[in-house]
Structure 1
Amino acid sequence: MKSIALAAALSLAAIPAAAHEFGFAGVLSNTNKGEMPGITLSVGQPLADGPITLKSGMLYELEIEADGTGELAVEGPGFFRAIWVNEVVINGLEIRPFGLESLEFDEEGTMEIEFLAIKPGQYHLKIPGSTGESQRVDITIQ
């Protein structure tokens, strides 16, 4: 019994100080948040100003705003499979989904998606059926 307690104490002592820097909430703490530009859904307008780069292991909040000029959707199954979605907030209602593949706005509104970037790679979000480069935003997770 003493050897088990000693082994446990030694293993805790071997954890580097950096492992403790996340704080109480771990990867979901405010100290682990990255900044991410928003996406705007508007007929004939670009989704974003340019490509987006994220860091794996960081928490982000993506704000998607639709101006109501049309019924528009965003899809990106590759991107949505490379992240862990903590919550989706629509009109103050929090949804904790198992996963996402696409989103659609039938009218004007804002949606916030809080997620943890996980799998490094090249991804995109785009308006389904569109072929224009401005109707797509490239996302890199490093």
Structure 2
Amino acid sequence: MRKLLLTSLLAIALPLSAVADNDDDDGRFGLAGVLSGKNKEDLEPIQLSAGMPLTSAPWVLKSGTYYEFEIQGDGSQELALVGPEFFRAIWIDEIVVEGLEIRPLGLDSVEFDEAGEMEIGFLAIKPGAYYLKIPGSTGETQRLEITIK
């Protein structure tokens, strides 16, 4: 019985030790999936300026892809961007303002009281049609249409 038990333990231990010896430090493996540099795209910046279009074209995003974009406010007016449905359809990795990194659990809107810039990194998750817009505005140039496929 002992011999059978010892043989069984060796049969299990040998493959496990072979796996343990397979070290990933040799550079053959890189970051996978969401963390891969191949999975990241930069989007056109959003321009917050009184009476100017937010962007030149709508955004078409792919679920599962990591995106980064900048919001640039010129200080011509106190302006905000709202888009709660969009912010709930993505996972926000970080918001960077003047070198300070913020990692929020969620977001409803952002506001610029003066000139400045922020960068937002996020993962598109839930497919659908969304928007970001300047609150209280009715012009179509003050609204960014976003589609997540």
TM-score normalised to the size of structure 2? 0.79
CA distance in 1, matches of 2:32, 2:51: 41
Residues 106-140 of structure 1, C-alpha deviation per residue, up to 9 Å, x if partnerless?
00000000000000110000001111111001000
SS of match in other structure, 1:78: helix
2:115 aligned with 1:126: no
2:44 aligned with 1:37: yes
Which residue number in structure 1 is paired with residue 74 of structure 2? 67
CA distance in 2, matches of 1:72, 1:133: 16
How many residues are treated as equivalent by the alignment? 125
Give 1:1-142 correspondences, 5 Å limit. 23-24=30-31, 26-142=33-149
CA distance in 2, matches of 1:25, 1:100: 27
Which residue number in structure 2 is paired with residue 17 of structure 1? none
The unaligned stretches of length 5 or more in structure 2 are: 1-7, 17-28
CA distance in 1, matches of 2:85, 2:69: 16
The unaligned stretches of length 5 or more in structure 1 are: 10-21
TM-score normalised to the size of structure 1? 0.82
**Structure having the higher Rg:** 2
Shift of 1:85: 0.2
What is the root-mean-square deviation of aligned Cα atoms in Å? 1.8
Mean CA deviation greater in 72-81 or 30-39: 30-39
Shift of 1:42: 0.1
Residues 15-56 of structure 1, C-alpha deviation per residue, up to 9 Å, x if partnerless?
xxxxxxx93264133121023111000000011102111111
Residues 61-83 of structure 1, C-alpha deviation per residue, up to 9 Å, x if partnerless?
01100001010000000100000
The runs of at least 4 consecutive aligned structure 1 residues that moved more than 2 Å come to 22-26
The share of aligned pairs that are identical, in percent, is: 62
